[in-house]
Structure 1
């Protein structure tokens, strides 16, 4: 009986902390929000993604153009006041900050079209620096905003590349 009383709260804790299961419709909406096709060559989309990540304070962990993958990390440290009040009200050592892992995968459809998919996880890190409570981000609106911002960078870089090519053609005549 005593063992059951100890196991039950642990199981409730695990169930309460688990991310909600997505319905098939929610999963499809999430996949659509995570994926975007660009009428731009693969090299330009890959370089634009690197620029986007760097402009948004991500640290590039891996960039493998041949494999079609970029992974990056971003950490946001909380201020001293946030740490203090979090510990004060929670009664335990508060989190030190937020941690985001992002990965982009690329599918060069043909010479002029590229498909991109992004996946983001969010976690917190404690005062010891350990990453805890890591969960997949499932908010389609967040993915849409990331892809919209990436689309602007892709278009900017694509237009710049086209202008350079036209200028190069004009000067060689």
Structure 2
């Protein structure tokens, strides 16, 4: 069976990483952590405009590498689409290659995590509940504009896993 890549998108502090890990455990497969978190930890700062393309490219490279170890599904904690969305939020111009990567949304299924958890600061990477809510709205609008189907998951982690599991039953 072909491995299906599943995109998990959402604003900061909305539970993407926890959901990706829980789904990988549930389906006995692997997941791709968000490279941005590693970048921030490694450099002890947020990325600059000229580093956004590298972040998106590294995320995609890690997806490709993880496919070899995946079974049925590969859960991707973010995609270049989110890198570009945040880049538009913080910077005036986007690298044309980042825009190209953003439009390569080649995932079998897209999950959006609702910002219904209490917002939690995370060192350098998170800004505020207001930014989280704004990015969430912008993400939903962008997915609608581009005609990318998605499921919005809400509630506790077990509830989110159940919602995704129900939806993924239709893919297999």
Asked if these proteins are the same fold (TM beyond 0.5), I'd say no
**Structure label with greater radius of gyration:** 1
Looking at both structures, which has the greater relative contact order when contacts are Cα pairs under 8 Å and sequence separation is at least 6? 2
TM-score relative to the length of structure 2: 0.23
Q: TM-score, normalised by structure 1?
A: 0.23
More strand by percentage: 1
